[in-house]
Amino acid sequence: MVKRDEKFVLWFKELGIEDVPLVGGKNASLGEMYRNLTAKKVAIPNGFAITAYAYHYILEKAGVKDQIKRVLSDLNTHDMKNLSDRGAKVRKIIENAKFPKELEDEIVREYRKLCKFFKTTNVDVAVRSSATAEDLPDASFAGQQETYLNIRGANNLIAACKKCFASLFTNRAISYREDKKFDHFSIGLSIAVQKMVRSDKSSSGVMFSIDTESGFPNAVFLTSIYGLGENIVQGAVNPDEFYIFKPTLKKGFKSCIISKKLGSKHIKMVYTRNSKKPVKNIPVPINQREKYAITDDEAHTLAKWACIIEDHYSKKAGHFKPMDMEWAKDGVTGKLYIVQARPETVHSQKKANILESYVLKEKGNLIAQGSSVGEKIASGPVNVIKDVKGIRKFKKGEILVTEMTDPDWEPIMKIASAIVTDRGGRTCHAAIISRELGIPCIVGTKDGTHRIKYSKKATVDCSQGSNGYVYDKELKYQVIKKNIANIPKTKTKVMMNLGNPEQAFDLHFLPNKGVGLAREEFIINSYIKVHPLALLHPEKVKDEKIKKQIAKITKGYKDKSKFFVDQLASGVATLASAFYPHDVVVRMSDFKSNEYANLIGGHYFEPSEDNPMIGWRGASRYYDPKYAEAFGLECRALRRVRDDMGLKNVIIMIPFCRTVEEGKKVLRTMEKFGLKRKKNGLKVYAMCEIPANVILADQFLDIFDGFSIGSNDLTQLTLGLDRDSELVSKIYDERNEAVKILIRQVIEVAKRKKKHMGFCGDAPSSVPGYAEFLVSCGIESLSVTPDAVINTILHVAKAEEKLRGKGKKKPAKKKVVKKKKVIKKKPALKKTVKRSKVVTSKVTVRKTSVRKRPTKKRKK
């Protein structure tokens, strides 16, 4: 009987993850999933693996090993011509090697069994390579070798297998192994022969069980395109993107897509009948481009599978193991499949305790932008290369600017300081490799190669969230590293002020206790841009130019108001999920009338006010018939986040509420739009930023669940000044005693009524002694900007320690007792009395206390 490790073929049902030495990481993973997860309804196409033993068997039988060694004896991977010549020679040697008959017969025999399994004569298969050292924790060999799709018939299968074996020596694979210091002959190649999924007639994509940019572990990142998945890996297409929140998905909530973005998807790869060119790209019709390649339900199904796969591998490994997966939808059957899964190899290796942030210190002219990969900044000489043939002219440290990359570009990618591409999404080849190399990358700029080519030097900035920017010269930047391993824990919660959803996942590593102030204004300004009433009443917008602008922004929406709800819900959900299950306090819109007027179409609906700072803003808008239905859109968005997505950590906050009666009107309006206080645990806070809020705090806290002190407005209204006026700015001071008295007073009321009391502003981190003042008053939480979180925690910890120290000094009885024990000794007492006749008053006091004791003794 043939030993297992000397078999030419092993079926997926016979394989497990422990079989990497026999069949490589890709095939071992396919076997692991097919054997263990099909019962959990994760669909894996059936197939078998041609083992690495078969590969080594060919080399030995054909006697080509020594020839390959001779060809590689003077290999220089830094010389592109040397690498290219030697790679071509080795591949030719393997392709021309005589295929052992016994191996060929067995492959054909097992292929016939696969045909029988699928009840067809010549079943179509994907022939995928799987190196035995691939997908190690610190290196990914994925994409280094070739894949051949839609292979039919035994003869075509054998020809594809020869090419697969030879692809172990592609230029990129040789270069990669040299860099990772792997011996070329210690690695074998296995081949997966797997039933083809007809995604050419439907869609496909890549999926990660964590966020690829920040490493945020609670979201599945899913991309989708039309046609075969090769285009998404090559970066030929900008895909659709989905983020699905894992914790509420696992709890059974049906709407867990926290955000999604439509990709251009201008082409799709399909099969041809030409054996020399088996695939080709064709245009995607415009009406299809403007739709997502999969439905929301299908995105949820794939995300559930991602969770099942991640949980399985994590349990198997004994620690958290994020996964990188490829999926495909069969256009004939309409079924979804997982076709590959491997460990994520970038964020799983990062040190969680070290926070590294890049800060741009100068400004430059923006010349290109796209989707950012990573969070770093790099600058240097620009080298625009449009064809892989031109990579020989690339020099170390240059910024590579190109249309897109594939594995043939890797020899120069590893020496680039940054990469910029015209095409591709966050799961394309350029993005994957730049993450692994740890260099900044911007993909999908559309016209970067044209716009950047005129700059001799440039700066690539990926530090500002999901958008990446290219500037026309070298700019100064700073790298800040912080070790948070020993950050002290505090009783007072330190939270964060945040309005930009793009930053949320990047900031989840900070040791904050949620978000104390999430401003809706940033989301409305950046993502919606249009006045809500212009979306509700487009007939009132008369300017044709503005109408076209609105139509372009809301493309794909018949109901324009739904666009507002979707965008706001997505932004808030991203913020809420990043810090789940900690509280995220969302302040309803607090634009002033002049700021609302600046939104597209806004001037049709906004009044002109002389002093909008104390005009029609905050609560006074929400119940007003002139604005209430627009406020209703905000309520619909927040209700979706809490009730449909399950993000019940969202707390609503009402700004600038002048009277108690006004607060009641706002709560009634919210209830009308489906947000009822206390229902499903909904809490509603109010901003404490008007002296009236403090004076009537008892009454306000009867209708609200808490306050958050807005020190900016409270200071200006207490001191009666405009904080935006430079003429009186020197008077503005949060340390003013009147302001501090109000703050102390309102905290006392909240504590007595057992209601939440927070503070949002940077004074605790920037104003000396302010953290100590607030902590001494008994503040429950402080909310500051992200860059002030660490310093604020340190200030608060110091203030709490100081207070504890003061608390220890209060019960001074113990010290008195110790003194008594010392002076009880009779000889010492007598001496003290005798020597105290002509001394200071301080000693005389001691003399008096000594006299009392003998008196007590005499009584006894």
Give 469's strand partners.
369, 461
Q: Could you identify the residue written with the tokens 């030993």?
A: 3
H or E element in which residue 343 lies: strand 336-343
User: For residues 774 and 49, what is the distance between their CA atoms, to the nearest angstrom?
Assistant: 66
- Of residues 371, 433, 426, the one with CA closest to residue 210: 426
User: For residues 20 and 10, what is the distance between their CA atoms, to the nearest angstrom?
Assistant: 12
- Of residues 282, 236, 256, the one with CA closest to residue 406: 236
- Of residues 352, 331, 407, the one with CA closest to residue 145: 407
What does the DSSP assignment read for 311-342?
Answer: HHHHHHHTS---EEEEEEE-TTT--EEEEEEE
What does the DSSP assignment read for 265-318?
Answer: --EEEEE-S-SSS-EEEEEPPHHHHTS-SS-HHHHHHHHHHHHHHHHHHHHHHT
Q: Which of 300, 429, 508, 531 is catalytic?
A: 429
Angle at which helix 826-835 crosses helix 841-859, to 10 degrees, equals 140
Q: Could you identify the residue written with the tokens 């350029």?
A: 430
Residue 756 bears catalytic tag:
no
Torsion, CA 635, CA 638, CA 640, CA 644, rounded to 10 = -130
User: For residues 209 and 213, what is the distance between their CA atoms, to the nearest angstrom?
Assistant: 12
How is residue 264 annotated by DSSP?
Answer: -
User: For residues 488 and 790, what is the distance between their CA atoms, to the nearest angstrom?
Assistant: 10
With beta carbons less than 8 A apart as the criterion, state whether 396 and 436 touch: no
With beta carbons less than 8 A apart as the criterion, state whether 144 and 170 touch: yes
* β pairing state of 125-131 and 399-402: unpaired
Q: Which long-range contacts (CB under 8 A, 24 or more apart) does 312-320 make?
A: 312/32, 312/33, 312/36, 312/37, 313/17, 313/32, 313/341, 313/343, 316/17, 316/32, 320/217, 320/348
- The amino acid sitting at 17 is I
Give residues with Cβ within 8 angstroms of 821, minimum separation 6. none
Measured in degrees and rounded to the nearest 5, phi and psi for residue 445 equal -75, -15
Q: Which two tokens stand for residue 34?
A: 């097919």
3-state SS of 478-521 is EEEEEECCCCCCCCCEEEEECCCHHHHHHHCCCCCCCEEEEEHH
- Of residues 52, 51, 58, 61, the one with CA closest to residue 9: 51
Length of the chain: 860
Residue 429 bears catalytic tag:
yes
Q: Which long-range contacts (CB under 8 A, 24 or more apart) does 802-810 make?
A: 802/772, 803/775, 803/776
Q: Which of 164, 657, 760, 795 is catalytic?
A: 760
User: For residues 503 and 471, what is the distance between their CA atoms, to the nearest angstrom?
Assistant: 21
Coil, helix or strand at residue 261: strand
Q: Could you identify the residue written with the tokens 């930053």?
A: 503
Q: Please list the active-site residues.
A: 429, 760
